[in-house]
Structure 1
C-alpha cells in the first residue's frame, strides 16, 4: 500500500463515527463523581485545587470504562493513585527544565513499556503522562503540590465509591462476554445449516474465558449463572461441527441432512435464548418449537452411527446450558448447590438448580427410548473442581500480586526487535521534543503539543495515524467551541465548572462511538476546567490548535522514521500458528492411542495455544493491511489463502476431538505414529515458512497412506486426509506468494 493511500485509509478510520449502544447511566455516574469533586474543591480550596482534583476524577472515570475484567473500583483507585504520584513527582522537578525533562523521558518510556501488560494499563499510563503536563502548572509550592496530589487521589476514591454505592448493571461486562460467546455458537449453528464446513471465529470464546478469571473478592460474589455455560459452549462447538460436516456425519443431501438442519436451527434458538437470559439476568425462555425439534423420537430412526450420537450429545449439552444459565441465589462463592441435572444431561457439572424431569434441562433431554448420551466429561484442566461441585474459578491476581508480573512483562520487551520497546522509545522522544518546542514557541501553555503526542501514540501504525487525525479534528472543533464560549460569554468559576462537567458527561457517553467525537468533548473540557482559574484564557484557538497539530505531526513523523512494521513479521506469525495447530492436532491424535476421555488436559492446553496463535495472526494481518510497505514475501492474497488453509486444518483436528474415545476404550496404536509425524512435520513446516521456503509434507503423506490401510474407522481416515489436504493447500498458497 502506498503512503498516500495509507494516510487516506487511516484518516478515514480515525474520523469514523460508529453507532454503539450508549450507557447513559454509567456516564451520568462518572459525571456525578466529577461534579462532587469539583464542587467540594471549589467550596473549600479554590479553583486551582479543583482543577487538579477534577483531572483525577475525570481520569479515574475513564479508567472504569476500559475493557477490563477487574473490579471497576480497583481501576479507579489505580488510576487516581498513579496520577497523583505522577503529578507530585512532576511538580518537584518542574521548576528545573533539565530535571523535569529527565523525569519526562523516564516516565514516558515506562508508560510505553507498560503496554506490554495490555491496552488498559497502557492507556492509563499514557493518560497519566498527558495530564501531568497540565497539572504541574497549577501548584505554587511543594506543600500545595502534595495537596494537589492528595486531591487527585481523592477524585479517584470518589469515583470508586460511586461505583460501589451506585452499581449500574453489576457484572455487566462478564455477562456480555459470556452471552456473546453463546450467541456466536448460535450463529455458528445457523451458518452450518447452509455451509456444513463454515469457519468458526474463536475470539468470543477466548474473550469469555478471559472474563471468567476472577480475583478472590470477585469469586465470592460472582453470580452462579456465570460459572458453567462457557465450558459447555466450548464442548458444543466440536459437536456442532461433527454433526454438520458431511465428511464425518450425515450425507450432504437427503432425509438425514434435513434432520441435521432442523437440529442445528433448534440449537441456534436454544443458545440465543440462553444468551439473552445471561445478558439480562432473567429466566431462560425456551422456544417451544426448538424444544420439540430436539425431543422428537424420529432422530433415532433417521440418523445413524456418529450423527445420531452427536445429536444426542448436542441435546444433552444444550440442556446443561439452559440449566446453568438460570439465575440462582448466591451462596458462598456465588454458586448454589442443587440436586443435579435432569435426565439426559451429560456435562457432569453436577450443580443444577433443582431442575428435575419436568425442568428446562429435562425438557431438552432425549426420550428414554433412545440411546443414552455419552458419559460425563470432566472439567477442563485449568479449572479443578470446587467445593460445591462447580469447577473452581480461574483466578486473577490482585493488583499487588500483579505488579511483579507486569514488571516481568516489561523487562521481557526490552530486547531488539520488540514493537513495545520501539513504541516506548518513540513516545518518550516525541514527548520530550514536543515539550521543548512548546517552551520555545511563542504560544504559551506549550503542554498542548506533548499532551497530544502521548495520547495518540500507539505501538502500531494504523492506530497512531488514525488517532492523530482524529485528535486534531476533534481538538479543532472542541477548542473552537469552548474558546468561543469563554471569549464571548465570560463564564464565571462555577459556570465554567458546570460546563466542564457537561463536557465530561458527553465524553463518557460518546467515547465508544469514535475517537474524534470524544476528543471534541475532551478539548472543551480542558478549556473550561482551566478557565475556572483563568488559566489559558488568553491563549487563542489558533495557538491551541497549532500546538495540537504539532504534537500529532511529531507522532506521525516518529513512526515513519522509527517504525515497527507488522508486515515483515507476518511469516513468523503464520509459522507460529502452523506449529501451534500441529501440536493441537498431534495431541488429539495421541488421545486415540492412549484414550483419556474428552476432557484431556493436554488437548485443552494445545487448543488454547492454537487459538492464541490464530488470533495473533489475524490481529497482525489486520494491522499490516494499512501499512505503507511492501509485502516482503507474503502478499495479501497469499496470506488470506494461507489463513484459510490453517483454519481448515484446525477444523479437521476439531472433528477428531469431537469423537475422542472415552478413558479405558481400546487404544489405536497407529494413532501414536500419526501424532508424532504431525508434530514433527508441522514444526519443520513452520521453520520453512519463517525462512521463506515452501513446506513439504512427504513423510506425513506416507503416514496417511499407511493410516488408510491400517484404520477401518471412516471418521479417522477422512479426518487424517482432511489434515493433509489442508497442509497441501497451505503449501500452494505460499508457493504463489
Structure 2
C-alpha cells in the first residue's frame, strides 16, 4: 500500500462512527461521580481544586471503561492514585526548574509507553495519566496547594470506585456477555457445518471467555454458578461438532447419515442459542423440546455408526450438561481453589516488571513506541513553548493521547483527535458566547459533556473527542479562563501534536509487515506441537498427560490470533514485504488453520485410558514435531519447508483398525503440503 492510500485509509478509519451498544446507566454513574467531585470541590476549596479533582474523577471513570476483566473499582483507584502521584511529582520538579521537568516528562512518557508491555489497559491508563498530568501541574501555585490538588485527584478516583461498589450496573455483565458470545459462536459454527463440513472457526470468543473466567480470589467466592463450568463444556463441544460434520472422520458426505448429521447440528445450534440467552440475561433456561428430541432420538444408532455415532452421543451428553450448568442458581458457587485466579495488583508487579524487561530491546514494538512517544512529547513541549500560544502543554498532550504502538491506530487517532477537537471547541465556544455561563453553570456543562463522552465512547475516537474538547473548555472556563484564551491555543497545538505523532512514527516506525514470516513460523511450530501432543495420547493412552494437549491448544490459539492481528495491521501499512505477498499470506494462513483443525479432529476421538497403545503414533508425533520446528526455521529464512520425513512415516504407516488415526495423519500431511505450495514462488 502506498503512503497516500495508507493515509486516506487511516483518515477514514479515524473519522468513522461505529454502531455500538450504548451503556447509559454506566455513563450516568460515571457522570454522577464527576458531578459529586466538582460540586464538592467548588463548595469547599474553590475552582482550582475543583478542576484538579474533576480531572482525577474524569480519568478514573475512563479507566473503568477499558476492556479489562479486573474489578472496575480497582481500575478507578489505580488511575486516581497514579495520576495524583504524577501531578504532585510533576509540580515539585516543574516549579523549581524547567529543564528538570522536561527530563521528567521524557522519563514519564517513556514509562507510559513501556506500560503497554503489561497490556492495552495498562498502556491506555498510563498514557491518559501522563497527558492529564500536563494540565494538572499548571493549576497549583505552591507545594501545599500541589499536595492538596493531588489529594483531590486521588479523591476523584475514590469517589468513582465507591459509586461502582454502591451502585453496580449489571454485575458480572461483562463475564456473562463473554461466555454467551462463546456459546453463540459455537451455535453459528454448528449451523455453518451443516452446509460446509470443513467450515473454519474463529477461536476469539473462546479466548475472550477464558480471559473473563480468570478472576480474583474475591470474585471467585461470589461468581454465579452459571458462569462456572459452561466455558469448559464449550471448549469440549467444538471438536465434537467438527468431527461429527467432517466426512473424513464422521458420516459420509451424502446419504441418510449426512441428513441425520445435519439435523443433529441444527439441534445443537438451537440448544447452544438457548443456553447463551439464559446466561446473557441471567434468566431460567427454557429447554428446546424438539431439539432435545433430535439429540436423544434412538433412531440415530440405526443411521450412524463408528466415530460418527460416538460423536453424536458425546454431543448430546455435553449439550445436556450445558443446559444444566446454564440454569441460574442450579449449581454451586465455585470454590476459589477450582478457579483460574488473577493475581492481585501487588502480586502483579513482578509480572509487569518481567514483561517490561522482556520488551527492553531495540526490535520490540513496545520499546520503539516508548522511545517514540518520549521524543515526540518532549519535542512537542518545546515547540509549544516556542510558538506564540499559551497552554503549551496541549501539543505534547495531544501526541501522548494519539500515539499507539502500531501505525494505523496512531494515524487514525491523530486525524480523529484534530477533527473532534475542532468540532468540540466550536460547539463549546458557541455555547459560551450565547449563555455566558458562570462558575457553577460551567461546571454543570463540563459534567454533561463528560457524561455524553462516556455514553458515546464506543462509537469512535472522533466522537469522544468532540465531547472531551467541550469538557476541557467548560472546565477551564469554570476556573476563570476565557474561551478566547483557550480555543485558538487548543486547536493550533492539537494540530501540532497530531502532526508530531505522525512524523515520529514515520521516522522511527515499528512495521508489522516485515515480521509476518516470524508470526507465521510461530503458528506453524505451535500447530506442530499441538498435533504431536494429540498423537502421543494415541501412542500411550494410559501414561500421556491430557494437560499437554490443552496447553498446546492454547498456544496454537495465541499464535493464530497474533498472526491474524499482524496481518490486519500490515494491511494498512505503507510498506511491502518482498518475501510474502498478500495472497501467499492468505493461503498460508488457511493451510495452518486446516492443520490445527485436523489435529482437533484427532483430539475429538482420543482413546480412553484403557485403550491399547498405538506405538506408530509416537513415531509420527516425533517426526511431526521435528519437521514443523525445522519448517518454522525455513519460513523465517524465506525458504520453502519440506516434509519428507513426515511423508515417509505416513506412507509406510500400518495402523490396523484405526481409520480415524490413519485418515487424520493423511489430513495433517495434506495441510503441510498446502503450506509449502502457498510459500513456493
> TM-score category by the smaller chain?
over 0.9
1:677-692 matches, within 5 Å, as 677-692=623-638
Matched, 1:497 2:498: no
Q: Aligned partners of 1:593, 1:483: CA distance in 2, in Å?
A: 74
Q: CA deviation at 1:329?
A: 7.2
TM-score, normalising length: structure 1: 0.91
- SS, match of residue 237 in structure 1: helix
Q: Aligned partners of 2:331, 2:36: CA distance in 1, in Å?
A: 34
CA contact (8 A) 2:106 2:374 kept: yes
The equivalent residue for 1:107 is 108
Q: CA deviation at 1:712?
A: 3.7
Q: Aligned partners of 1:254, 1:81: CA distance in 2, in Å?
A: 67
The equivalent residue for 1:179 is 180
Q: Which segments of structure 1 move beyond 4 Å, counting only runs of 4 or more?
A: 596-599
With a CA cutoff of 8 Å and minimum separation of 6, indicate the structure with the bigger relative contact order: 2
Q: Aligned partners of 1:204, 1:415: CA distance in 2, in Å?
A: 32
The equivalent residue for 2:575 is 629
The equivalent residue for 1:238 is 239
Q: CA deviation at 1:597?
A: 9.0
The equivalent residue for 1:352 is none
Closer, same or farther: CA 599–303 of 1 in aligned 2, 3 Å = farther
- SS, match of residue 220 in structure 1: helix
CA contact (8 A) 2:67 2:121 kept: yes
Q: CA deviation at 1:294?
A: 1.1
Closer, same or farther: CA 598–671 of 1 in aligned 2, 3 Å = closer
The equivalent residue for 1:265 is 266
Q: CA deviation at 1:221?
A: 0.8
Q: Please list every run of 5 or more consecutive structure 1 residues that lacks an aligned counterpart in the other structure.
A: 336-385
Q: Aligned partners of 1:224, 1:75: CA distance in 2, in Å?
A: 25
Which structure has more helix as a fraction of its residues?
Answer: 2
1:6-41 superposed Cα distances (whole Å, 9 cap, x missing partner): 001111111111111100000000000000000011
- More displaced stretch, 711-720 vs 62-71: 711-720
Matched, 1:12 2:12: yes
Matched, 1:201 2:147: no
The equivalent residue for 1:728 is 673
CA contact (8 A) 1:435 1:450 kept: yes
Question: Which one of the candidate residues 611, 618, 643 is aligned to 1:697?
Answer: 643
Matched, 1:430 2:431: no
The equivalent residue for 2:465 is 519
The equivalent residue for 2:58 is 58
Q: Aligned partners of 1:329, 1:315: CA distance in 2, in Å?
A: 20
Q: CA deviation at 1:536?
A: 5.3
Closer, same or farther: CA 677–42 of 1 in aligned 2, 3 Å = same
Q: Aligned partners of 1:660, 1:598: CA distance in 2, in Å?
A: 11
Q: CA deviation at 1:94?
A: 1.7
The equivalent residue for 1:616 is 562
1:383-462 matches, within 5 Å, as 392-462=338-408
Aligned-residue RMSD, C-alpha: 1.3
CA contact (8 A) 2:325 2:331 kept: no
Matched, 1:283 2:284: yes
Q: CA deviation at 1:93?
A: 1.4
- SS, match of residue 222 in structure 2: coil
1:479-530 superposed Cα distances (whole Å, 9 cap, x missing partner): 1111222234221000000000000011100000101000001111011011
Matched, 1:547 2:548: no
Q: Please list every run of 5 or more consecutive structure 2 residues that lacks an aligned counterpart in the other structure.
A: none
- SS, match of residue 170 in structure 2: coil
The equivalent residue for 1:345 is none
- More displaced stretch, 21-30 vs 595-604: 595-604
CA contact (8 A) 2:29 2:163 kept: yes
Q: Aligned partners of 2:570, 2:107: CA distance in 1, in Å?
A: 30
The equivalent residue for 1:664 is 610
Closer, same or farther: CA 240–691 of 1 in aligned 2, 3 Å = same
CA contact (8 A) 2:473 2:487 kept: no
Closer, same or farther: CA 563–711 of 1 in aligned 2, 3 Å = farther
1:47-92 superposed Cα distances (whole Å, 9 cap, x missing partner): 0000000011011111111111011100100000000001111111
Q: Aligned partners of 1:151, 1:314: CA distance in 2, in Å?
A: 57
- More displaced stretch, 627-636 vs 121-130: 627-636
Q: CA deviation at 1:149?
A: 0.3
The equivalent residue for 1:470 is 416
Q: CA deviation at 1:206?
A: 0.7
TM-score, normalising length: structure 2: 0.98
CA contact (8 A) 1:598 1:662 kept: no
- More displaced stretch, 552-561 vs 439-448: 439-448
CA contact (8 A) 2:512 2:569 kept: yes
Q: Aligned partners of 1:431, 1:734: CA distance in 2, in Å?
A: 42
The equivalent residue for 2:42 is 42
1:116-171 superposed Cα distances (whole Å, 9 cap, x missing partner): 00010000000001000011111010000000000000000000000000000001
Q: CA deviation at 1:550?
A: 0.5
The equivalent residue for 1:189 is 190
Q: Aligned partners of 1:404, 1:114: CA distance in 2, in Å?
A: 13
Q: Aligned partners of 1:66, 1:540: CA distance in 2, in Å?
A: 29
1:372-422 superposed Cα distances (whole Å, 9 cap, x missing partner): xxxxxxxxxxxxxx58xxx80001000111112111111111112000000
Q: Aligned partners of 2:637, 2:330: CA distance in 1, in Å?
A: 57
